[in-house]
A = this chain, B = another copy of it.
Amino acid sequence: MLDRLKNHITQNFPFLENKKLLLATSGGLDSIVMARLFNQLDYAIALAHCNFQLRGLESFGDQNFVQDYASTNNIPMFLTQFDTEAFAKDYKLSTQVAARDLRYNWFYELLETEGFDYVLTAHHADDNIETFLINLSRGTGLEGLVGIPAQNDKIIRPLLLFSREEIANYAKENKIEWREDSSNASDKYLRNKIRHDLVPLLKELNPHFIPSFQKTQSYLQESQVMVEDASIMVYQQVAKQEEEGIYFDLNQLRKLPNYTSYLYQWLHEFGFSAWDDIYDLVESQSGKHVFSAEFRLLKDRDSLILSPIDLEANSEEEYFIDEGMEDVKIPLNLSFCKVDDIYIPTNTTIFVDQEKLEFPLVLRRWNDGDNFQPFGMEGKSKKVSKLFKDEKLSLLEKENVWILWSGNKIVWVVGIRQDERFRVDNKTQNILKIELE
């Protein structure tokens, strides 16, 4: 086994030579065998053990075991403890996903802080077969069948070519001790059934099932990369990043008979799950939207617009600006400055007659009934909503607009249009320049 591993590394991971390796070590059969093998291969290794505190004393037993193993064999060891349940609850994750996230985040941290080059995990061939069959039995997509890759950035899985049986035999021959792993408890029935009934049946149908399966999975991985290629190529044709969010051009998108597949590919990583609603958006009227936990997908004319939900946003918010304040930072960067002369006002800079203002000024979101007298229109009144329409603002842009009020009069539809009533005239004594940065 040592020789096969050596060959395997030379052929597939030649870059590991002389590198500092961090071995993920739970204390179970696979990770202890991996530690033993790499120790024998004379790599500069260290062990990293996470105590997820999911199995009470047992978890600490595992931790002690790995600590003993490391000190007996003179291998440096890193240890951390997580409150996995709390983390899972906070981030609304399954325990399994929480543990995985915590684990890999910590590994990447150690790579940085301790100067390791790669992390090694002890996944073996049967892990991939079992996960494939579990996912198949439950229903899955291509991503559930491709298996865990032999390399993923800085994570290497050098034991993927070995079966559980080979690893167990090696441990037996070499009198290696390990901790029985009782994790994956929720999957236990399923995993055992698959391990003891399903996989043997497949091996009966084809004595070379494991290598055949490894080929199958490598083909599926190739297909998966091509799916991602297609996803990226079509994204580049259809999507455009704007300030308010990502715009998907529906006229382009609808040309593809399978556009729902692409929407799925692009959006599932933003946490969306109401796929039928999303697919309906494409043909729905403007203004409809679908939410994920943190994102919103909005139909607006010929686009779908993906934007983060501003979790702080509240249309009732008001911000007060006292006389003499020079800078406002929240909710917008505004500066107030007395000037002697006026220049031509722009979208982002206006000049007002200070004496006409009623302090404190108020910044507030707009409402449907808001009216103002647009600068230069000789005192004619106009609805703010009509202004937005004329300016062809998207729904998202509209939502982002703030209004500067003086009493019950609008001073400025910020960034868009000044009100006539506060403009500087020939009676003005103090000119106030207000600027949006």
Contacts and interface: CB of A to CB of B under 8 A. Distances in A.
A264 B219 CA distance: 11
A209 B227 CA distance: 26
B229 A142 contact: no
A346 interface: no
Q: Quickly give the copy total for this chain.
A: 2
A255 B145 CA distance: 27
Nearest to A262: B226
A231 B234 CA distance: 12
Interface string A184-222: 000000100110011001101110010111011001101
Nearest to A198: B201
A139 to B, nearest CB: 3
Nearest to A260: B222
5 tightest A-B contacts by CB?
A139-B212, A230-B230, A141-B219, A142-B223, A137-B205
A329 interface: no
A344 interface: no
Contact of A141 (B205, B216, B262, B264): B216
Contacts of A141: 216, 219-220, 222-223
A261 interface: yes
A83 to B, nearest CB: 32
A215 B142 contact: no
A258 interface: yes
Contact of A209 (B137, B215, B256, B264): B137
A140 interface: yes
Contacts of A206: 137-139
A225 interface: yes
A226 to B, nearest CB: 4
A256 B229 CA distance: 10
B212 A190 contact: no
A202 B137 contact: yes
A325 interface: no
Contact of A142 (B142, B197, B205, B212): B142
Contact of A212 (B137, B145, B193, B264): B137
A225 B139 contact: no
Contacts of A211: 139
A261 B138 contact: no
A256 B228 CA distance: 13
A258 B204 CA distance: 34
A86 interface: no
B222 A261 contact: yes
A222 B262 CA distance: 9
Interface string A140-169: 111001000000000000000000000000
Contact of A139 (B201, B216, B227, B265): B216
Contacts of A264: 222
Nearest to A258: B225
Interface string A232-246: 011000000000000
A194 B142 CA distance: 22
B139 A213 contact: yes
A380 B209 CA distance: 68
A136 interface: yes
Contacts of A204: 193
B212 A138 contact: yes
Contacts of A258: 222, 225-226, 229
Nearest to A225: B258
12 contacts: A137-B205, A141-B222, A142-B142, A142-B223, A193-B205, A198-B198, A201-B201, A227-B230, A229-B234, A229-B256, A230-B230, A230-B233
